Structure 1
Amino acid sequence: MPVSRRTLLAAPLALSLPAAAQPAVAPLTVASFPDLDRAAKAAQAAWDRAHPEAPLRLVSRNYADHHNAMSAVLATGSGQPDVMALDLRFIGKFASGGGLEDLLGAPYDAGPLLGALPRFAVTQGRSPQGALIAMPADIGPGTLLYRLDLLERAGLREADLTGSWPGYIEAGRQLQRATGAALLTDAAELRDILLRVGLADGEGIYFGRGGEVLVGNERFQRAFELGLAVRRAGLDLKAPSWGNEWGAAFRQGRVATQMMGCWLAGHLKNWLAPAQAGLWRSAPLPGGLVASYGGSFYAIPRHAPNKAAAWAFIRQMVFDRATQLQGLRVLDAFPALLAAHDDPVMDEPIAYLGGQRARQLWRDIAHRVPATPVHKHDALATAIVRSAFEDVVSQGRPIPEALAEARALVIRRTRR
């Protein structure tokens, strides 16, 4: 008799392992990073009640230190946690190393559960060989966050920002003349989002379905051209994301828009610009683009000492509706679980966004994002392309020349 998705999600969280394979009673070690670690902390009481034989032990390091440490323990095979949290940016790198369990294989057999998650997020957690090495815990539907008060002072409407990419830049000129605020913190942000324009299911940003290098095509040309137009017009602050100046720009009201995952609204509320409550709004990305910004995943290392408990923990964090909604409330992490998207919380007004029911927009975006696979050389290609763009906007290098060299370098570095 066919098994329904509801039955699968309601199944016991523990693995059915042979008695000889049952791990010894021991704490469940989860290695994570801020703010994702707050989701595990929020779920700890429920986990410990249900699994007294494996109380949760959370090890949290800052973002960079965590991923560096996880790379080291996978390389050495010693000191591995039971569960490893990963940011999307590192999935391609970790997928190529062979140090993570394939959750599609026995004894996990996660395949029947995947229909409960957005297809694009599942695709992001796969290796080039098709193994599912990381399970999505939260997702980042892309949005344009903007300061309504600044827009109104410039005599502009939301549609002036979102209608088209040239229109977005022209609106930036008007915003700057009327308010003195920059359109965005860094022209590189525009480059990065434009590299996602026109992607089809199964096509990566830098590499095609067959692994061919895409760097230098018309999509890259257009992204570089518009990014350069922003820099030449003086519409950005030359402040890269997550730096001190970037954060100060929000607090000081010197930037009018920011394109990023919807989770940025939570960061604005909680620490970047709490005093600006009610001034920000969320809108679709310009030109009708739908995209994903980041996302968090859980993986099980090959040499994890307590794999049964690790899989039970991942099942709770990803497939338990209450836990997913708890993550939304605690740290504004947008749920990966589709069943959580029907909760009334999605229709609630968000005070920080002036009472806007923005989660409805984010849900719609999440359901339309194309499935873009990660590649083991994405990080390398990203670094090369970013360097080429910097040569263009800072050194005046011609775009065709910079892209041709970037393409050649990606080919050379990835085919050694």
Structure 2
Amino acid sequence: MTIDRRQLLRLTAAAGLGTGALASCASPTAGPPLRSGQADLTMWTHDPGYASFFTEAATDAEIVGGSAWTYSVEVASVAADALVTRMITQAVAQRPLPTLAGLELGQFPRMMRADIAENLLVDLTPLTESLGDRLLKTQPYTVDGKVYALESDNSVSVMYYRADEFERLGIPDDVETWEELLDIGAQVAADTGQSIGMVSDGDNTAIVQGFMQFLLQRGGGLFDADGELTVESEESVEVLELMAEGVRTGAFVSLTDPYGSATGAALKDGRLIATVMPNWYKVYGLEANVPDQAGLWRARNIPRFSSGGSISSTMGGTAFGVVKDQVLTDAAVDFLERSYLTPEGQLARYWAGAYLPTLADLYETPEFQDITDPYLGDQRIFETYGAAVEELPGFYQGAGLPVLRDSLGGPILRAQRGEIDAEAALEEGVRAYERQAPR
């Protein structure tokens, strides 16, 4: 890939590098595009699950049959929080870049600064615009109206709950609102010490992610479609007050993070009997910590807030983008489209790693509706997921998200603990953000 001087200066500034980082040599991946034939793609990703899927997809006739290219994929493992930095420094130094890059959702805002996404990645809008509302969760990877990466998994949030404990305690599994469920949860906590939800008291990322999951469900957000801050809102105050009330009564247990040893212990000893988390938490949170509780857990849609919002939310995700102006760029776009925007590719993704389809109409097809989940007591799980995606909230990001997380984490934590009221906490976090936010 060849970058002009203006692009180099922007990328250098965004990466915090000096001009000594620049090199005059062109990347060995640059050159005339390959229009057909053998395409040996390279990929950077933090997750071995994606490595397995893409290497297998490269030879799957259901996915790549009929392509003008014959594919292979070589994968390099790069930590999620290092991948963007490495891409920028490689581009600035005119060194080889991957043809495909897996961009963790929380790291993508770094690509929104200084035209980095525009300079490094292919605009995939020609692939996505024809799908319209059928294609979900493009907003987090959109810059100036252009989509630069395709989401791997909708990360649909549901409420996981211990069906046996709910039955023993007399908790209905169809409580309609958070307010009702928190009243029940407060009584359960007082009687048994068990909790029907959790919030994080760990690092800023975990704290803000937990808050954001509730906020998106309520109909709010951290940023709007133009990347402008929208934190100070009635929805934000309501959400933070509900979280604080849950912690105060014991309905919610405060844990360092959703995946650590303390959470594992709370699941194992039955102190945590329900939690709202995305679909991937079943594998990485429940099955990883309490495999012996297989068959005891179920999933339902999230109770609504009585004042509005949906039965659905989302948290986390990883999207793949194609590095532009390389020999194999056209081949990589074709491969990504076949893997991510076709029914065959989306079904293969689910069976490879339980990644939920991003094409909304697939949730109603027999291929997905007939799936039962043994860990969830052979529940027909896509009945729940299907209802959730019908109300999946919009999710917008802004370039200042890394600064916002660090600014909001502390005040949100203090509000959860009852040390400061919700409105004051949000105001404190936003004022801190405004002093540090990139201009």
TM-score after normalising by structure 2: 0.78
| Cα 1:245/1:103, change in 2 over 3 Å | same
CA distance in 1: counterparts of 2:259 and 2:82, whole angstroms: 16
Match of 2:153 among 123, 138, 144: 138
Q: Which runs of 5+ in 2 are unaligned?
A: 1-30, 201-206, 305-309
Look up the match of 1:8. none
CA distance in 1: counterparts of 2:192 and 2:421, whole angstroms: 32
Look up the match of 2:7. none
In the TM superposition, what is the alpha-carbon distance from 1:387 to its structure 2 partner?
A: 1.8
One-letter code aligned to 2:148? I
| Cα 1:395/1:366, change in 2 over 3 Å | closer
CA distance in 2: counterparts of 1:394 and 1:110, whole angstroms: 46
| Cα 1:210/1:121, change in 2 over 3 Å | closer
Match of 2:165 among 145, 150, 153: 150
One-letter code aligned to 2:214? L
Look up the match of 1:245. 262
Q: Say if 1:280 and 1:354, in contact at 8 Å, map to a contact too.
A: yes
Look up the match of 2:26. none
Match of 1:196 among 206, 212, 216: 216
Look up the match of 2:234. 218
Look up the match of 1:12. none
Q: Say if 1:116 and 1:339, in contact at 8 Å, map to a contact too.
A: no
Q: How many residues align?
A: 387
In the TM superposition, what is the alpha-carbon distance from 1:136 to its structure 2 partner?
A: 2.2
| Mapped pair 1:405 → 2:420 | no
In the TM superposition, what is the alpha-carbon distance from 1:62 to its structure 2 partner?
A: 4.4
CA distance in 1: counterparts of 2:399 and 2:55, whole angstroms: 31
| Mapped pair 1:39 → 2:53 | yes
Structure number with the bigger relative contact order (C-alpha 8 A, sep ≥ 6) is 1
Look up the match of 2:107. 90
Map residues 379-398 of structure 1 onto 2, 5 A cutoff. 379-394=402-417, 396-398=419-421
Match of 1:322 among 340, 344, 362: 344
Look up the match of 1:115. 132
In the TM superposition, what is the alpha-carbon distance from 1:20 to its structure 2 partner?
A: 4.8
Map residues 15-414 of structure 1 onto 2, 5 A cutoff. 20-22=32-34, 27-34=40-47, 35-46=49-60, 54-66=71-83, 69-70=86-87, 72-73=89-90, 76-96=93-113, 97-98=116-117, 99-104=119-124, 109-115=126-132, 117-118=134-135, 120-127=136-143, 129-160=144-175, 163-186=176-199, 188=207, 191-199=211-219, 205-234=221-250, 235-268=252-285, 270-287=287-304, 288-302=310-324, 304-338=326-360, 340-341=362-363, 342-394=365-417, 396-414=419-437
In the TM superposition, what is the alpha-carbon distance from 1:400 to its structure 2 partner?
A: 3.2
For 2:159, what is the secondary structure of its paired residue?
strand
Q: Give CA-to-partner distance per residue, 1:10-63, whole Å, 9 cap, x none.
A: xxxxxxxxx953279562001122233332244243278868754211222444
One-letter code aligned to 1:45? T
Q: Say if 2:299 and 2:376, in contact at 8 Å, map to a contact too.
A: yes
Root mean square deviation, CA, Å: 3.0
Q: Give CA-to-partner distance per residue, 1:330-378, whole Å, 9 cap, x none.
A: 2111011345332433233221111211212202211322333222222
Look up the match of 1:16. none
One-letter code aligned to 2:428? E
TM-score after normalising by structure 1: 0.82
In the TM superposition, what is the alpha-carbon distance from 1:294 to its structure 2 partner?
A: 2.6
Q: Give CA-to-partner distance per residue, 1:311-347, whole Å, 9 cap, x none.
A: 1220121123222112212211101134533243323
CA distance in 2: counterparts of 1:347 and 1:244, whole angstroms: 35
In the TM superposition, what is the alpha-carbon distance from 1:104 to its structure 2 partner?
A: 4.2
CA distance in 2: counterparts of 1:208 and 1:324, whole angstroms: 29
| Cα 1:77/1:412, change in 2 over 3 Å | farther
Q: Say if 1:213 and 1:410, in contact at 8 Å, map to a contact too.
A: no
